[in-house]
Structure 1
Amino acid sequence: MDLVRLRALREFADRGTVHAAARALNRTPSAVSQQLRALQAEVGIPLTERTGRRLRLTDAGWALVRHADEVLSSAERVEAELDSYRSRPKGAVRVAMFPTGAELLLAGLMRRLTPVAGLRLECRDIDMQPNEVPALLADYDIVVTHRDEQMPPFDDARAEVVHLLREPLDVALPAGHRLAKRRKVPLTDLAEESWIGVDVGFPVDDVLRSLAVRTGVRPTVVQRINDFHVTERLVAAGLGVALLPRYTLGPHSGRRWVRRPLAGIRAARHVEAVLRAGASARPSVAEVLAALRAEATAIG
């Protein structure tokens, strides 16, 4: 049943006349009368009757008033609950992150959100390529993704993109490698190396393709591993060289391998938060997004 009509019925029951109900509802008497007639047509039984010049409720009308009190009270509680979501962060926010993005950002994000009462973060790590982001937005409020520096920014009219940080890619070399003592390593000096790469289509792989363009030599990729911790161990064992993100892994352990910046090429991945257009208007989503930006700023 129409809530506007039920409110008109309740006001009429409480105030006794159509004119009084109209004043309470800030409507004209004719508008209130029309609402009462429409409600009566909707339920299919008489709700009011004439006694002389006055209009009064029938027994069915009074029965409906009692139920209208319950319905309108529930509607008011729902509206109050929704107002609380509109005015302050509350409820669940679903976030998808690529795995090393989660390693880089998730712990700090959770710490920043711990003091926010009523907000619940639900995060999943998903090994995603940039072209998979739009589909993920169907299930997640925020998708934290990454792209190669040479790749154009994510572009979708239905989405909002927030840049979080630029993370340089360094070359990881076994400790005894011929280039390990260099302060920086030109990409062209690595043309003949065996590489530990990542799956085709992921940002780090794009830099290896740049190597082919600059040197005319196609890199020899001996393994494609998306877990950078596994890659660290392979490099340390002298089984190849690799490109690794600077902030995610932090300082390497021991002297088993060394990290060196690349020379002569800008090599990095951009970490971005992607949301459906308008999603950041929700206070809870805006709170999580602000915490993500603060954490990324602290890192980069």
Structure 2
Amino acid sequence: MHSRISDDITFRKLEILLAYMEGGNLNAAARMLDISAVSVHRALHSLEDAMSCQLFSLQGRNLIPNEAAQVLAEVSRDVIRLMADGIAATRSAAGYSADHLKIGSLYSLTTGTIPNVIIGIKLRKPELETELVLGSNAELLHKLKQNAVDAALMAVPDPDPDVESISLFEDDVFFAAPAGSPYEHMTEVDLRDCAGEKFVCLRDGFVTFSGFQEAFRIAGFAPTLVTRVGDIFSLMNLVAAGIGYTLLPGRVRDAFGDKVRLIPLKQDYRMRQTIGLSFLRVRERDPNLLALAAVCRMLKHS
């Protein structure tokens, strides 16, 4: 049975030992680790006490490592390298990767926000590979909680103790009609005047569908639905083809050129979506997520 290792022997102290062996003096080791020379001196003496043997001899004010210190340093290099590999393997098994970032996104954000985010993250961390996962708000929130994505750009979810969100921008919802429709040149649309029209919409789980339901609840009637679709661009195609009207967020305004017109809703039905970056609180110190959050904050203020 192996003897118990003292609690006073820590990875941090072994790292300080290696820095001292490489730097050759207290000040050099302190600069390498961005700590004080006093902290280095204290850690080395504490390590010596924990080992229960002499590691250094004193020559003037200098600590001179002996053969025992050389042996411990050699072992420390192997231990720290093995532990770093173990941490990487553990994170990989849990779905985290130091060189891979899986970002969830709403379809509607791929026309502007997502390209800017990916460009920004590449500038900050060129070695980082990004993967995009598209879905509805409900799907993305589920994937986030299951660690199937590292972070998600979506409508900010309801308060959740497990989820941290950074708001990026707010987006108004509009009445969407094909070019040439009777609504095209209206300054605003009253949904109560559309009771006889046909509509198309997204399926359940999309934040835009939630707004669609709420608007018609306020209008006091259930719209005649031709079909439901699973992404916002298919929805816009149907509107452009004259299959039906719908409600759309302003961020997709330029996606179909002049084929689809977005007209403001009457004040009674106006609503806004808050779009943001969401991630699990337990990962808020993850270096990749810190870089992603920094990019998103920069885009927010640009």
Q: Same fold (TM over 0.5)?
A: yes
Q: Deviations over 1:101-121 (max 9, x none)?
A: 233322111222232245514
Q: Given the alignment of the two structures, is residue 143 of structure 1 paired with residue 152 of structure 2, yes or no?
A: yes
- Equivalent residue for 1:92, pick from 75, 87, 100: 100
Residue 275 of structure 1, CA deviation: 1.4
CA contact (8 A) 1:160 1:275 kept: yes
Query: For the structure 1 residues 116 and 213, does the alpha-carbon distance in structure 2 shift closer, same or farther, using more than 3 Å as the test?
Result: closer
Q: Given the alignment of the two structures, is residue 226 of structure 1 paired with residue 233 of structure 2, yes or no?
A: no
- Other-structure match for 1:186: 190
For 1:100, what is the secondary structure of its paired residue?
A: helix
Residue 66 of structure 1, CA deviation: 8.6
Structure 2 gaps of 5+ residues are 22-40, 55-66, 88-97
- Equivalent residue for 2:261, pick from 258, 262, 266: 258
RCO higher in structure (CA 8 A, sep ≥6) = 1
- Other-structure match for 2:113: 105
Structural mapping, 1:5-44, within 5 Å? 25-27=44-46, 31-33=50-52
Query: For the structure 1 residues 92 and 71, does the alpha-carbon distance in structure 2 shift closer, same or farther, using more than 3 Å as the test?
Result: farther
- Equivalent residue for 1:201, pick from 199, 205, 208: 205
Looking at structure 2, the residues matched to 227 and 23 of structure 1 have their Cα atoms a distance apart, in angstroms, of 60
Query: For the structure 1 residues 23 and 159, does the alpha-carbon distance in structure 2 shift closer, same or farther, using more than 3 Å as the test?
Result: closer
- Equivalent residue for 2:245, pick from 238, 241, 245: 241
For 1:136, what is the secondary structure of its paired residue?
A: helix
Q: Deviations over 1:223-253 (max 9, x none)?
A: 1123333222322222111112212342642
- Other-structure match for 2:180: 176
Letter of the structure 2 residue corresponding to residue 130 of structure 1: A
Residue 214 of structure 1, CA deviation: 2.5
Looking at structure 1, the residues matched to 201 and 182 of structure 2 have their Cα atoms a distance apart, in angstroms, of 20
TM superposition score normalised by structure 2: 0.67
Letter of the structure 2 residue corresponding to residue 263 of structure 1: K
Q: Deviating runs (4+, > 6 A) in structure 1?
A: 5-8, 64-67, 78-82
- Other-structure match for 1:46: none
> Which deviates the most, 153-162 or 112-121?
112-121
TM superposition score normalised by structure 1: 0.67
Structure 1 gaps of 5+ residues are 15-21, 36-61, 83-89, 148-152
Q: Deviations over 1:167-220 (max 9, x none)?
A: 212111122322222111122222322111000232222233224322332111
Larger Rg: 1
Query: For the structure 1 residues 5 and 250, does the alpha-carbon distance in structure 2 shift closer, same or farther, using more than 3 Å as the test?
Result: closer
Looking at structure 1, the residues matched to 159 and 53 of structure 2 have their Cα atoms a distance apart, in angstroms, of 51
Residue 141 of structure 1, CA deviation: 2.5
Residue 31 of structure 1, CA deviation: 4.8
- Equivalent residue for 2:78, pick from 69, 74, 81: 74
For 2:261, what is the secondary structure of its paired residue?
A: strand
For 1:111, what is the secondary structure of its paired residue?
A: helix
Query: For the structure 1 residues 29 and 124, does the alpha-carbon distance in structure 2 shift closer, same or farther, using more than 3 Å as the test?
Result: closer
- Other-structure match for 1:268: 272
Looking at structure 2, the residues matched to 163 and 120 of structure 1 have their Cα atoms a distance apart, in angstroms, of 24
